[in-house]
Amino acid sequence: MHTEHNISLQPFHFFASEELASYFTVLHKNEDVSDAIEWCHQQNLPFLILGSGSNVVFTKNFPGLVAKMEINGIKKLNESATEVILEVGAGENWHHFVSYCVQKGWGGLENLSLIPGTVGASPIQNIGAYGVEVQECIQQVTAFDTTTQQWIQLSNKECNFGYRTSLFKVAVKRYIITHVQFVLQKQPQLKMDYGAIRDMLHEKGIKHPNLESLSQAIIQIRTQKLPDPKILGNAGSFFKNPIVSKTQLEQLQQQFPNIIAYPISDDSYKIAAGWLIEACGWKGMKKGNVGCYEKQALVIVSYGIRSGREVYEFSEEIIHSVAQKFKIQLEREVNIY
């Protein structure tokens, strides 16, 4: 196994802060994964798997091995009149994979166009956007279980997917995902429930959308709404949308009639965290080298931070002020190291 010593993590994550990894390696194949874990056990060092680094904040140097996932490849396992089953390497770029499916006419993932990251990270927080979650297309996940040192295959049910969570997010660092199997539809039902999608299609004069035009509409919406990480370092939505009961929502509505909430079951509602943050006056606010994005309060951006600690402390202040005003405890969606 080839490792490098005292490597700056700056090029490997979107906030591009300057923390170091004691050791760094790249994983190209399954054996590299088991070798890396064995090496960490022998050296008594912690490990961290990195995809494209779009959902992490480093607040200090990492005192162990950072292993960058680069197991690639897209393999067709099966095809019927209605479905295609693909096995995809964890290191494949997520958006490239979605575009590949869209070009082939295989539907299911088009609403997740332009989400940054790797295929292997997609099941971890069950990535989602515009009414679709990746779990809807995942059949199976292959992973190395670092506790038992065994290779395992987990069915969709075993992955225990939920809103921005899964078995992999809960059992932090236990599983290293190397491949994901997806089931895609050859006669897909397009999902266009979101007003923003309908508005964009209308604006573009598209009356009969297909996979390609839907994907393009979503790319355009996201480009307008979210900061380009190459210009302003960020990790997308920094916080999860909090979930409250119907009674809690009704109490909040008495005091804050404009609060934005979406029903997710008979008794639970998702509150727009961006609305809460904006109502506390954070939208567009800048402190030192960190700020709350001017077009979307849920996104924390870097104006040239040196340490992720600055981002972390800024997020603490937001959590504190939302808790004071609304008695709601925001949870971070990003992974803090």
Ligand X SMILES: Cc1cc2nc3c(=O)[nH]c(=O)nc-3n(C[C@H](O)[C@H](O)[C@H](O)COP(=O)(O)OP(=O)(O)OC[C@H]3O[C@@H](n4cnc5c(N)ncnc54)[C@H](O)[C@@H]3O)c2cc1C
Indicate if 331 belongs to the active site: no
CB atoms within 10 A of CB 337: 17
Single out the segment in contact with ligand X by CB under 6 A; choices: 44-52, 244-252, 290-298, 301-309.
Answer: 44-52
The answer to whether 89 contacts ligand X (rule: CB under 6 A) is: no
Among 22, 87, 136, 164, the active-site one is 164
Kindly tell me which residue out of 17, 25, 54, 315 binds ligand X, with binding defined by CB under 6 A: 54
The answer to whether 218 contacts ligand X (rule: CB under 6 A) is: no
Site for ligand X in 280-309 (CB under 6 A): none
| Separation of alpha carbons 65 and 43, rounded Å | 10
The answer to whether 311 contacts ligand X (rule: CB under 6 A) is: no
SS3 letters for 286-331? EECCEEECCCCCCEEEECCCCCCHHHHHHHHHHHHHHHHHHCCCCC
The answer to whether 90 contacts ligand X (rule: CB under 6 A) is: yes
The answer to whether 23 contacts ligand X (rule: CB under 6 A) is: no
DSSP string, 105-147: T-BSSGGGTT--SBTTTTTTTT-EETTEEGGGGEEEEEEEETT
B/e letters for 305-331, b = 16+ CB within 10 Å, e = fewer, are bebbebbbebbeebbebbeeebebebe
The answer to whether 159 contacts ligand X (rule: CB under 6 A) is: no
Q: Are 110 and 98 in contact (CB under 8 A)?
A: yes
Q: What x/- string results for residues 160 through 199 when contact with ligand X is judged by CB under 6 A?
A: ----------------xx----------------------
Instruction: Supply 116's token pair.
Output: 């940054």
Nearer to ligand X, 209 or 229 (CB): 229
Nearest distance, CB of residue 124 and ligand X, angstroms: 5
Residue type, 235: A
The answer to whether 201 contacts ligand X (rule: CB under 6 A) is: no
Indicate if 54 belongs to the active site: no
The residues that touch ligand X, with contacts defined as CB under 6 A, are: 14, 48-56, 69, 90, 115-118, 120-122, 124-125, 127-129, 176-177, 226, 229, 234-236, 335
- So which residues are the catalytic ones? 164, 237, 333
